[in-house]
Amino acid sequence: MRRKLVAGNWKMHGSLEQNKALLDALVSGVTQSEMSECAVCVPFPYLCQAQMELVGSPIKWGAQDVHPLHQGAYTGEVSAKMLLDFGCQYVIVGHSERRTLYGESNELVAEKFAAAHASGLIPILCVGETLEQRENGVTEQIISKQLDAVLSLVGEHSLDNAVIAYEPVWAIGTGKTASPEQAQHVHLFIRQRLAERDAQLANKMRILYGGSVKAANAVELFGMPDIDGGLIGGASLIAEDFLAICRAAK
């Protein structure tokens, strides 16, 4: 039985004051559950705040990106070791905004994944196709390439402590959600693809859906057999919406 995960991706949003109100509301509203897990991935400067507010609560926290190397002359970058200093458990790698706006290749994403995994963080590996790719019928090819880059760098055994998030680019921040059937189709494809390497691993792998998940569509999405929770952008900034999505995962 896979434990569902609902992870918030705050992106470049928040302030000390806003975060305090949001985190307080999450901590007082969250109910602990054997069945599901809840986490927030916050901007780097607020990791310390997240740690202070969330330590001892059932809510986990993490970051939105990581550098492949431990340390060095890489101005502006943050290593996995630094994230661990702030109690992070999760880190998002390969979000489509990083891939498209900052030109992150499948190979770089794989290196980030490897560094996160080797340090003991749980990488949330984002994969997904653009609208054009979907319309051209190459969704599965694109996702295979994104997965294969990681598999060929780290091998399938390194996926044991990782999470995959399927995020169709056309559904991110657009209000257009993939239908539960569309999402399920791709989730099953991802699981089958992993099963070709290792059936046990494929069966254990948590595959989240992301892209305009809201309280109103979460129950239906999370009810699909291969959808193991969600990666939530916009709705993770509003406490009652995020809590409702967390409850939908139970």
- Interacting positions 3-32 with ligand PGA (CB under 6 A): 9
Residue 64 touching ligand PGA (CB under 6 A): no
Residue 126: CB minimum distance to ligand PGA, A = 7
- Residues classed as catalytic: 95, 167
Cβ nearer to ligand PGA, comparing 69 with 130: 130
Is 211 an interacting residue with respect to ligand PGA (CB under 6 A)?
yes
Question: With CB under 6 A, what is the number of residues at the site for ligand PGA?
Answer: 13
Q: Is 210 in the site for ligand PGA (CB under 6 A)?
A: yes
| Residues numbered 223-242 forming contacts with ligand PGA, rule: CB under 6 A | 231-235
| Residue-by-residue DSSP string for the chain | -PPEEEEEE--S---HHHHHHHHHHHHHH----SSEEEEEE--GGGHHHHHHHHTTSSEEEEES--BSSSSSS-TT--BHHHHHHTT--EEEES-HHHHHHS---HHHHHHHHHHHHHHT-EEEEEE---HHHHHTT-HHHHHHHHHHHHHHHH-GGGGTT-EEEE--GGGTTTS-PPPHHHHHHHHHHHHHHHHTT-HHHHHH-EEEEESS--HHHHHHHHTSTT--EEEESGGGGSHHHHHHHHHHT-
213 binds ligand PGA (CB under 6 A): yes
Interface with ligand PGA, residue 62, by CB under 6 A: no
123 binds ligand PGA (CB under 6 A): no
> Between 159 and 198, how does the x/- string for binding to ligand PGA read (CB under 6 A)?
--------x----xx-------------------------
Indicate the residue among 82 and 213 with the shorter CB distance to ligand PGA: 213
Residue closer to ligand PGA (CB basis): 205 or 235: 235
Q: Is the CB of 179 or the CB of 200 nearer to ligand PGA?
A: 179
- Provide the minimum distance between the beta carbon of 178 and ligand PGA in the complex, in angstroms, as a whole number: 11
* Cα(63)–Cα(164) distance, integer angstroms: 15
- Part in contact with ligand PGA (CB under 6 A); list of ranges 98-106, 112-120, 150-158, 207-215: 207-215
The nearer residue to ligand PGA, 72 or 176, going by C-beta atoms, is 176
Q: Residue 173: CA atoms inside 13 Å, Cβ hemisphere, count? A: 9
Euclidean distance between CA atoms 208 and 184, whole angstroms:
10
The full length of the chain comes to 250
Binding site for ligand PGA (CB under 6 A): 9, 167, 172-173, 210-213, 231-235
